[in-house]
Structure 1
Amino acid sequence: MDTLTEAVLAGAGPEELSRHPLPATFTAAHLLARDVGMFEGEADRDVRRSVHVGPVPMPRLAPDEVVVAVMASSINYNTVWSAMHEPISTFTALRRLARQGGYATRHDLPHQVVGSDAAGVVVRVGDGVRHWNVGDHAMVSPAYVDDQEPSAHADSMMGSEGRAWGYETNFGGLAHYTVVRASQLVPKPPHLSWEEAASLTLCAGTAYRMLVSDRGAQIKQGDTVLIWGATGGLGGFALQMVKNGGGVAVGVVSSDQKAQILREQGCDVIIDRREIGMGDGEDSAADAIECGKRLGRRIRAELGEDPRIAFDYVGRATFGTSVHVVRRGGIVVTCGSSTGYQHQYDNRYLWMNLKRVIGSHIANLQEQWETARLFRQGGLVPILTDLFELRETGEALRLVQQNRHVGKVGVLCLAPEEGLGVTDPELRERIGAGRLTSWRRYASTARV
């Protein structure tokens, strides 16, 4: 173990951390460019075969960047896409980024360190960094934006050079160290452990922008919100935000176990997608209408009205039904398509009923800070379930790839065990440790 890592694990202060050199290499979960095409013609793109865990070189630090010693990270579906090399290889994105020249050329390597969530300790700051210091505890937002683009100053997510860190960039969070822009950092809530904090930014920030932000659906008291995949990483946070905002949550799930989880989490209406004949993603627009009619009847029987908002990240299998089922003037807000990107829907139900579709992607820095504030207040709690070690990243990815999980799947990186990193135990006690860890009982494995 290098001396900097030893100092980080010993809880050293800023001066001591600054004295130790950055290691020349560090352990990371990464993909190899030579593996692109390895799954060609195969029905099962088993990500355990494409993910490698081992040493990679430490990159140079740009003036606007920091080095974070990653204590914990988590799994998101974009890393599954990366590891499957679909819909395109993310090495293509790295080559595009490198064309900008300068420090961007560092990203075009024969390996890609993946992962779009992280929490850890800042151990180096670039010469141009003003608001962060060595020793700070931070979470990393996946929004990798160019603050010199004019459009980014209105909303950083609108910049044409915006990327998802650890997916469309190199040096991601599933590693012992990561290099990120200072504009990605969010203060770690002091009452949360490393693994809890590392499970927040991508999914919670994305759900906040989709539902709460003025760039999303802007939920208000009494709104009925349809949440597809309501026990997933995005859906679990969406459920909390709807309830906190005085809304009525309608959660759709795919099993009795997940329905029970929603009951325990206070979801107002729970629907098993099998009850409405929901298919496997190959449904036509007509099938979506029939599913929408059945779903609408079920919701109206429970609540007396149609939903105003549909929270949809599932994509092809659900989008047409979402368009059909929201009420006149309603909103479908979407951030992904895990079942396929080509959506079919009957446009009459959109235009003639004055409905809207809002595309949403990650969250800007202000939205991430607002989301973190809700965690510090105790209004939101982590939805971490399973926990793996870094060397088991392939197994963690496989769990998510096969949808055998609920909530968020965490990965311990430098943290030797779970439960570390809490610097405000009084706040943790006030919010309630049992509440903060309530999703751990839904773990699908007995890891860590």
Structure 2
Amino acid sequence: MTLAQAVVAGAEPAELERLEVPSVYRAAHLRKDEVGTFEQDAVDKDVRRTLHVGEVPMPELGEDEVLIAVMASAINFNTVWSAMFEPIPTFAFLERFGRTDPRHDLPTHVLGSDAAGVVVRTGRAVRRWRVGDRVVTSPAYVDGEDPVIQHDGMLAADLRAWGFETNFGGLADYAVVKATQLLAKPRHLSWEEAACNMLCASTAYRMLVGERGARMKQGDVVLLWGATGGLGGYGVQLVKNGGGIPVGVVSSPEKAELLRRMGCPHVVDRSQFEDLTDEKAWRRLGAEVRRLVGEDPAIVFEHTGRETFGASVYVARRGGAVVTCGSSTGYAHAYDNRHLWMKLKRIIGSHGANYQECHEVNRLISLGLVHPTLSSVYPLAEAARAARAVQLNQHVGKVGVLALAPAEGLGVEDHALRERVGEERLRLFRTS
């Protein structure tokens, strides 16, 4: 029996420790020699051309690291950026990292910033985790010896996004993470449900709830762009749980209906505003929000960037905040600064989440208070097709990927909690 077979069969820790770690493993990866693939094709940078699934070498394990047998993973937009080699090829990150840790500077880059699986090896300095533990991963890869992480790990000078700015990510049969990335798997979720949450849910938590974000309070109106997407789907839940009033922006009647089934009664159809870089459209958007809820948003949840940022700054109320964690439509933002300074608004930059924030949101998920936004699942062999669906925005919520798990629906331990939460909530995005 191989180590992978033993994990799937639910073998005891002693058996997992006895079996040999393979020298190669299956992974979704990029190839360094293909970095120039899209230089002559600015029309369609199809990620299926550059994202490959095949064998890569197994790395040595660092003393503060853990080897996970990955049961399931998920696609994030950083996977798409990586496979498009934008904004820069991620091999530049690996080359830089390789100056201090040569293991990562390889001709292949294994992607993936989410995973759920079973610990199969631990480094000699790892204390809190054992072989056989069922875990999910948080995406922040930081140096535990940097003093600033005692304040906020996201301020660490060498902060890296695992599986994007590091190698050995989660879209694979095995993954290497630091022990400080691990959290206990929610027991009522299947492998694929557990694997899809942490990057987006923790990012949304820091933006809205965490001490360094917008600090939403009861009754706050929150405008959320892409409200049925990977980030937005968690953002809506957190706003509702915290007593806020979510106003979700979506681009189709189907997504609007999904929002309403999530309990978000206030929905804005983005398609009615043709050019959101035009101040006339900003004014119409502001009027629509006031029509729905009677006031301007206290918080605007931003991650779309160039196409929407000017509108976000405009529609936030006097003294309100725009909290941003990304720029999926472009990084060069333009806005009318008069609406910012004269109305005392704030722009808050937010990136990922620190270990404590990840712990807090994982606790909410484990209690059944925040639910997966998983909409579809692909086998690892079809990881490129899964990433293409995200690239073309053909999805809602999160797109999952099965690695070692042979089928969907496996890994549930707490059936009583699952029954209390209800399949309708847990599978809401699957039925959209």
Instruction: Give the TM-score range, shorter chain.
Output: over 0.9
Deviation at 1:434, TM superposition (A): 2.5
Deviation string 1:219-270 (CA, Å, 9 cap, x unpaired) is 1110000000001000000000101111111111111111111122111311
1:145 match: 142
- Name the CA distance, whole Å, in 2 between partners of 1:433 and 1:254: 26
1:8 is matched with: 7
- Give the whole-Å Cα distance in 2 for the aligned partners of 1:120 and 1:364: 21
Q: Match for residue 221 of structure 1? A: 218
Matched-pair contact (CA < 8 Å) for 1:205–1:363 = yes
Indicate the residue corresponding to 1:441 in structure 2. 431
Amino acid at match of 2:399: V
Secondary structure at the counterpart of residue 73 of structure 2: strand
1:188 Cα deviation from its structure 2 partner:
0.6
Identity of aligned residues (%): 60
The aligned residue for residue 445 of structure 1 is none
TM-score scaled to structure 1, two decimals?
0.95
| Residue of structure 2 in register with 1:132 after alignment | 129
Distance 1:138 1:418 in 2: 17
Which whole-Å CA distance do the structure 1 matches of 2:209 and 2:181 have between them?
A: 20
Match of 1:187 among 180, 184, 188: 184
Asked if residue 79 in structure 1 is aligned to residue 69 in structure 2, the reply is no
Deviation at 1:99, TM superposition (A): 1.4
In 1, Cα distance between the equivalents of 2:314 and 2:425? 36
Counterpart CA distance in 2 for 1:433 and 1:365 is: 29
Q: Is the 8 A contact 1:248 1:268 kept in 2?
A: no
2:290 pairs with 1:300: yes
Structure 1: which 5+ residue stretches go unaligned?
A: 443-448
The 5-angstrom pairing of residues 241-390 of structure 1 reads 241-279=238-276, 283=277, 287=278, 289-390=279-380
In 2, distance between residues paired with 1:247 and 1:15?
48
| Aligned-partner Cα distance in 2 for 1:272–1:326 | 18
> Residue deviations 1:294-344, cap 9 Å, x none?
111111112111000000100001111000000011010000100000000
> Cα deviations across residues 22-54 of structure 1 (Å, max 9, x unaligned)?
011110000000000110020110000001100
Tell me which residue corresponds to 1:46: 46
Q: How does 1:115-130 map to 2 (within 5 A)?
A: 115-130=112-127
Q: In the alignment, is the contact (CA less than 8 A) between 1:70 and 1:178 conserved in 2? A: yes
Measured after TM superposition, the shift of residue 86 of structure 1 is 0.8
The answer to whether the 8 A contact 1:385-1:407 is kept is: yes
Spell out the pairing of 1:383-402 with structure 2 (5 A cutoff). Answer: 383-402=373-392
Q: How many Å apart are 1:425 and its aligned residue?
A: 1.0
CA offset digits 1:384-420 (Å, max 9, x no partner): 0011000000100000000011010000000000011
SS in 2 for 1:237: helix
Aligned length: 431
What letter is aligned with 1:66?
V
Q: Could you list the runs of 4 or more consecutive aligned residues of structure 1 that deviate by over 6 angstroms after TM superposition? A: none
The whole-number CA distance in structure 1 between the counterparts of 2:382 and 2:402 is 10
1: CA distance, partners of 2:271 / 2:2: 55
Cα distance between partner residues in 2 of 1:292 and 1:259: 20
SS in 1 for 2:222: strand
Q: Equivalents in 2 of 1:79, 1:203: separation in Å? A: 13
Cα-Cα RMSD: 0.9
What is the deviation of 1:183? 0.6
Q: Distance in 1 between matches of 2:282 and 2:253?
A: 21
Q: Which residue of 1 aligns with 2:29?
A: 30
- Counterpart CA distance in 2 for 1:270 and 1:3 is 51
Q: How far apart, CA to CA, are the structure 1 residues paired with 2:124 and 2:293?
A: 57
Q: Does 1:68 align with 2:65?
A: no
Secondary structure of 2:297 counterpart: coil
Give the unaligned 5+ runs of structure 2.
none
1:446 alignment partner in structure 2? none
How big is each residue's C-alpha offset from its partner over 1:117-176, in whole Å with a ceiling of 9 and x where there is no partner? 000000000000010000000001110111111111110011010000000000000000
